[in-house]
Amino acid sequence: MIDYYEELGSEEQRKVTDAIRKLYRQTFLLERRYDRKTGRYQVNGDYYPCSKHLEFVRAYFAIMDIQVVENSQMGVIYIQGEQVMGEKLSKLATFYILALKLIYDEQMSAVSTSVNAMTSLGEIHEKLGTYRLLFKQPSVTEIRRTLALLKRYQLIEPLDVLEEMDGQSRLVIYPTINVVLMGEDVRALIGTYGEEAEEDDGSGI
């Protein structure tokens, strides 16, 4: 494994190292990310070095008992395993992920030519209200913190500045949402949190 790396040119070594660092820190590497300035999807410079040297990257992470998975259809490389320790999610972040997954699945069932979906903050809250998971408007600070977390893990891309977010603010939903939650997980979590909400008697989160 070391020989393989040392045989690469210095620039290629740098690219591979950067890709590994990003993958470990973010859990996911997307092939394309939405660029707010241009309004277009741009190639992620870290994705292709990781994909090109995937067997080396897999061997590197295997030392830590971490599995590296590439889903070329979704355009995402991600890591999984007991050693992958993400941040503990707040209840609001969990609710947002649930809503994002539901919205994503709805849009993908209607449009088969894209792996990315679009939503708004208002639509997320409306979806949570429909499932009786959100009884009161979260604080602006909670919303911004939650969206920043989801952006860092490449689940979403806000199309507006976080400091100026409101109900009309748009968000790109990345296909990584499929890796975080499967359909059966969504139903189970909705059932669990729905029961908690009833016990709370409408007190909210």
Q: What is the pLDDT along the chain (205 residues), one digit of tens a residue?
A: 778 999 999 999 999 999 999 999 889 999 999 988 888 899 999 999 999 999 999 999 999 999 999 999 889 999 988 767 566 778 888 899 999 999 998 998 886 666 778 999 999 999 998 888 877 888 989 999 999 999 988 899 998 877 777 778 899 999 999 888 654 555 555 555 555 555 554 443 3
| One domain for residues 7 and 96 | no
| One domain for residues 64 and 119 | no
| One domain for residues 128 and 97 | yes
| One domain for residues 67 and 132 | no
Give the integer Cα–Cα distance in Å for 46 and 69.
Answer: 15
Q: For the chain, what is the domain count?
A: 2
Examine residue 205 and state whether it is found in any structural domain, yes or no.
Answer: no
| One domain for residues 173 and 142 | yes
pTM over 0.95: no
| One domain for residues 108 and 192 | yes
Examine residue 6 and state whether it is found in any structural domain, yes or no.
Answer: yes
Q: Which domain holds residue 20?
A: 2-80
Tokens of 183: 């359909």
| One domain for residues 194 and 97 | yes
CA atoms within 13 A on the CB side of 189: 20
| One domain for residues 68 and 97 | no
Residue 51 CB-density burial (10 A; 0-12 exposed, 13-18 middle, 19+ buried): middle
Select from 56, 80, 104 the last residue of a domain.
Answer: 80
| One domain for residues 68 and 141 | no
Give the integer Cα–Cα distance in Å for 163 and 50.
Answer: 33
| One domain for residues 195 and 97 | yes
Neighbours of 98 (CB within 10 A): 22
Q: In 3-state terms, what secondary structure has residue 29?
A: strand
Select from 47, 80, 113 the last residue of a domain.
Answer: 80
Tokens of 31: 């092939």
CATH code assigned at 137: 1.10.10
Examine residue 86 and state whether it is found in any structural domain, yes or no.
Answer: no
pLDDT of residue 157: 93
C-beta of residue 55 within 8 angstroms of C-beta of residue 5: no
